[in-house]
Amino acid sequence: MSEHSERTSEGQLRRALSALRHDPLALTGSVVLALLVVVGVAGSWLAPSGINEVDVDRMLQPPSWSHPFGTDELGRDVLSRVMVAARVSLQVGLVSVGIALAVGVTLGLFAGYYRGWLDNVLMRCMDVLFAFPVLLLAVAIVAVLGPGLLTATVAIGVVYTPIFARVTRAGVLSVREQVFVRAAVSIGASDLRIMRRHVLPNIAAPLIVQTSLSLAFAILSEAALSFLGLGVQPPAPAWGRMLYDGRGFVTEAWWLGFFPGAAIFLTVLAFNLVGDALRDVLDPRQLTVSEARRSAT
């Protein structure tokens, strides 16, 4: 990696870590996400009961010391199911955004660097995907491939690919004209080497921000697909599916929908808080605004 790119990446990392430490909201979001990861990884061991442990004698019991989140219509412990479902949401969010990041960044790099007909073809394809509402396109893909965790993950990855492609292309268009990129071209460096070692490190900041924000929307999309019966299939627990199952018990068993909904809310809020903090630090336009405000005061 070039010295300029290395300094840029290190400076961005230091600013990001500093923002998370000194911003109370971002720090709170980071703590919530850390707890979510722990629950997602160890939920099966931490859960007080089995997720499919049916007991009709204790069905629809309200929250208590023995069942802090109550029980559902089959007598299953809601807390255990919410904890285990965290793994599903994290898995779908991370894998789907990983797919979108890998494919979108690759397409955006080639489109922005080579321009011409390749740029036109790739970006027009992205525009077609981008024209569809996210959830509608995801539902259409799952309907074609069949419901399930894998197809829901792939569908969410596909619908978020155009966002990463656009963000990457915009960054490449500005970086490719920089002096250090021209210098690398002049000494005969290959295109792939230039993109990997000079272009990509210098557009990492907006990609990091977009990744953190997309994780929140991917989890929301997974919950929506599961609510519609197109995501995780019973008896496996999923926050969206638990909301669907609890919709018929709103008046007599409010806890069935409240706790899965609260889990979705807190997770998405935590990702958004961290994403906003990263955007304030890593986005050059935000930095310019912040510096102007400090100068004015």
Region class of 169: left (phi > 0), else alpha (psi between -120 and 50), else beta: alpha
| Best CA proximity match to 105, nearest among 160, 169, 154 | 169
CATH code at 128?
1.10.3720.10
Tell me, what amino acid is at 3?
A: E
232-265 pLDDT, tens digit each: 888 889 999 999 999 888 888 999 999 999 999 9
Query: pTM of whole model > 0.75?
Result: yes
The boundaries of the domain holding residue 39 are 3-296
pLDDT reported for residue 2: 46
Position 62 pLDDT exceeds 90: yes
| Best CA proximity match to 231, nearest among 49, 42, 96 | 96
pLDDT reported for residue 179: 85
Joined tokens for residue 17: 């870590």
| Best CA proximity match to 69, nearest among 41, 48, 88, 40 | 48
Helix runs in 23-145, H state only: 24-46, 78-114, 116-131, 134-145
pLDDT reported for residue 243: 93
Region class of 233: left (phi > 0), else alpha (psi between -120 and 50), else beta: beta
Position 111 pLDDT exceeds 60: yes
Confidence at 297, pLDDT banded by 50, 70, 90: very low
Q: What is the tally of structural domains in the chain?
A: 1
- In the block, tokens 């197109």 appear at 230
pLDDT reported for residue 14: 64
Which range is least confidently modeled, 5-9, 106-110, 257-261, 266-270? 5-9
126-161 pLDDT, tens digit each: 999 888 888 888 999 998 888 888 999 999 999 999
With beta carbons less than 8 A apart as the criterion, state whether 250 and 203 touch: no
